[in-house]
A and B are shown apart, each in its own frame.
Chain A
Amino acid sequence: MKHSLLALTLAAGGLSLNAAAEMDTSYYNDHYCTTCHGADGGGSEGVQAPRLAGMEPWYLKRQLEHFRAGIRGTHKEDFQGTEMQPMAAKLSDDSIADLVQWVGTWKYMPTPVTIAGNAEAGKALYATCASCHGTSGEGNAALGAPALAGQNDWYLVTQLQNFKAGYRGKDPQDTYGAQMGPMAASLADEAAINNVVSYINTLGR
């Protein structure tokens, strides 16, 4: 299937500059997420890109919009976030809707445990978190808090570190991040972060 570049630019939104070459749009579309997020969005530790399979559509959409607008992933110390941000920068609304639909076709698969922390100690810490993220870490759409159970543990650790350090959640427009920031700040140190994530690992999915 060949289209002119112009049509393609409108369709895929992802092409820069140059003029009148022809290219095959059936191959070059916005479905490039799996190179980083792993086969069927199962998460890829090598690229530090988390599991997308099984993610709530509303949360996925919001994160893509936040990345696109630079509300998330623009702090220069946010090493992983700045990897993701340019991937969303050129997505159109239609493309985001299409991606949410596509990601929705992937079946959730369990993530491996890679963090060694004290889950017992983490359980006590998780009490605070449960009010928004749910007692089983299942998330709460009404509060805008995503599921935590079943997410890659190394990713959860990065997020808690980044919220705590102010690399995520500090943009004036990031109202949801603003709720989460102080919660991460309440985790005293690295050990507390590992402990609470170890507890989340036990919640299963």
Chain B
Amino acid sequence: MSHSVSRREFMNLLSATFGTGALIQLGSALSLLPMTAKAASLSLAAPMPGKGKVVILGAGISGLTVAWELTKAGYDCTVLEASNRAGGRVFTVRSGTVIDEIGNRQVCDWDNEPHMYFNAGAARIPSTHRNLLHYCKELGVELEMFINESKTAYMQDDNMMGGKRVRNGEVSTNVRGFLAELFAKCYTTAQLNEPFTESESEIILGLIRQFGDLDRNKMTYHGSSRAGYVSGGLLDHGVEKEMIEFKNLMKSRLIGNTFTANEGETGPMLMQPVGGMDMVIQGFTRKLGDKVIYGAPVVGVQIKENGVDVAYDHDGKRHSISADYCFNCIPAHLMTGIPNNYPEDYLTSMRSIRRGEAYKSAFQAKYRFWEDEDIYGGISWINAPISQIWYPPQGIHKAKGIILSAYNFGGGMVFTKMSQEERVEAALAQGEKLHPNYRDVVEKPVTIAWHRMNHMLGCSARWGSGFSGWTDEVQTLFDRLQQPVNGRHYFIGDQMAYHGAWQESAIASAHWALEDMDQRVRSMAAQA
């Protein structure tokens, strides 16, 4: 390395190599990173007399947020939900749950116990999702810890080490050892003289040594006890596992997961509601009671000068409801099939959104076989369409558990297109590479192909086509759809946020719409 490295460059390199965790550690010392924003607290004005009727289309978490906030502010809310349950993509499967996949309905017949559930949609709550956490607190939703990365879970890739499964901790330790040695070689004191002082360099080299558990004097890597022992360690001297050469590990693209799995939004501490993610939804629906109408698909939306008319089916009859305001979280690709009088450019924006294809599946395990292998949660990674196996952090040491047998967020069509039998066989055949006895110890499969789930048909909204990403054109489409029609109809949901597939995003879109409406109401009240 012939040129000296600036602080910024050095940090970019650090984050690219070691993950953002290292960056945050170092960055906050140099105070270069922004602070996260505070949780939004809404203070909504009471409705103007005779102008307080609100209809909410879809009982997704964004719709429920709107209904709850406006109810508190004194509005008269009705939520129309097509399905016979609330929550949309917040969906917990347990004994008796119907999985309403069109063309492949399933009924879950797992043991009926509190810990025997599966979060088929949203599953993780990051510490930074303040608005969601705020509602958990307000609605009395009990939370427990959830962990993304387990060092004792496995990684398996047919291209790596003859397809042998390797513990995540062995992978990360050896990869870090290699990278740290590389760094140490590049960053000699001489090169770091400028712009770092000698004592700063010492700190950095110390960090590099710690990062990879390098030999103190030579700054070289020869393996580390962090990878775990083959035997002993307590009453016998520990026998360290042999170091795995980096050139063997680099055959798999999965190894980077050991850095990213525990960073950013999936970094500790993550949380989950005790008993299933739908406890959040139940928190809302307990408060809203019969304001939520189930089995009530919206079949028409007409925006008028001073309100919105909505038609819906319920109990075999067609109904209509006139409201002053309408908030709509029906997925865009379904909304285009419902008669409406939206402005053409509003519809064009809706039509431009493509739908995602996330897929998850789960088994009931006859016993918690992973605990016999020192695994108590976290994720095993595999280079196969199932991608991941999740071990439940809940119900530790109980007789049985529910194990996630596939999670393919971006490429779920592979499974979606299979029959139920083919999906199950694929999960078994691929899972066997991580747990050789898998086939014998799991039973009662459920599969959730979000692309085919009734009233949803996708996860999550995809703005922009292909890999072109977020262009100016997409920005224009997004901005149009975010604006209300006549100040009366708001389109919401995580589809109306820049960061899809998080409950926090859906809530943020609801808050945006509520604040916009509130401003309009306040200015109307001031004029009146």
Interface residues of A (CB under 8 A from B): 5, 12, 14-24, 27-28, 32, 34-40, 42-47, 49, 82, 86-90, 109
Q: Please state if A16 and B104 are interface contacts (CB–CB under 8 Å).
A: yes
Q: Using CB atoms, name the residue of chain B closest to A82.
A: B417
Q: Using CB atoms, name the residue of chain B closest to A26.
A: B295
The B279-331 residues at the A interface (CB cut-off 8 A) are 295, 297-300
- Known contacts A46-B351, A89-B103, A39 near B108 by CB under 8 Å: no
The smallest beta-carbon distance between A85 and chain B, in angstroms, is 9
Q: Please state if B104 and A47 are interface contacts (CB–CB under 8 Å).
A: no
18 residue pairs bridging A and B, Cβ less than 8 Å apart: A14-B103, A14-B104, A15-B107, A16-B420, A17-B445, A18-B107, A21-B96, A37-B337, A38-B338, A39-B299, A40-B339, A42-B339, A44-B333, A45-B351, A46-B335, A46-B355, A47-B333, A109-B339
Is B336 on the interface with A (CB-CB < 8 A)? Answer: yes
Complex Cα distance, B109 from A49, in Å, reads 33
Q: Please state if A87 and B103 are interface contacts (CB–CB under 8 Å).
A: yes
Q: How many residue pairs between the two chains, A and B, have CB atoms under 8 Å in the bound complex?
A: 100
- Known contacts A16-B420, A37-B337, A44-B333, A32 near B454 by CB under 8 Å: yes
Complex Cα distance, B420 from A19, in Å, reads 15
Q: Please state if A87 and B102 are interface contacts (CB–CB under 8 Å).
A: yes
Q: Please state if A44 and B103 are interface contacts (CB–CB under 8 Å).
A: no
Q: Please state if B420 and A49 are interface contacts (CB–CB under 8 Å).
A: no
Q: Please state if B103 and A42 are interface contacts (CB–CB under 8 Å).
A: no
Q: Please state if B337 and A15 are interface contacts (CB–CB under 8 Å).
A: no
Q: Total interface residues on B, using CB and 8 Å? A: 39
The smallest beta-carbon distance between A83 and chain B, in angstroms, is 9
Is B84 on the interface with A (CB-CB < 8 A)? Answer: yes
- Known contacts A17-B420, A36-B457, A44 near B336 by CB under 8 Å: yes
The B350-370 residues at the A interface (CB cut-off 8 A) are 350-351, 353, 355
Complex Cα distance, B104 from A45, in Å, reads 23
Is B444 on the interface with A (CB-CB < 8 A)? Answer: yes
Q: Please state if B102 and A28 are interface contacts (CB–CB under 8 Å).
A: no
Known interface pairs A20-B109, A22-B96; 18 further A-B residue pairs with C-beta atoms within 8 A, sorted by A's residue number? A14-B103, A14-B104, A15-B105, A16-B104, A16-B105, A18-B444, A24-B84, A32-B454, A34-B299, A35-B457, A36-B457, A44-B333, A44-B334, A44-B337, A46-B332, A82-B417, A86-B103, A90-B103
Q: Using CB atoms, name the residue of chain A closest to B298.
A: A39
Is B98 on the interface with A (CB-CB < 8 A)? Answer: yes
The smallest beta-carbon distance between B464 and chain A, in angstroms, is 16
Q: Please state if A35 and B102 are interface contacts (CB–CB under 8 Å).
A: yes
Is B100 on the interface with A (CB-CB < 8 A)? Answer: yes
Q: Please state if A45 and B457 are interface contacts (CB–CB under 8 Å).
A: no
The smallest beta-carbon distance between A21 and chain B, in angstroms, is 4
Q: Please state if B336 and A45 are interface contacts (CB–CB under 8 Å).
A: yes
Is B455 on the interface with A (CB-CB < 8 A)? Answer: yes
Q: Using CB atoms, name the residue of chain A closest to B295.
A: A27
Contact with A along B232-270 (1 / 0, CB 8 A): 000000000000000000000000000000000000000
Q: Please state if B98 and A28 are interface contacts (CB–CB under 8 Å).
A: yes
Is B106 on the interface with A (CB-CB < 8 A)? Answer: yes
Complex Cα distance, B102 from A88, in Å, reads 10
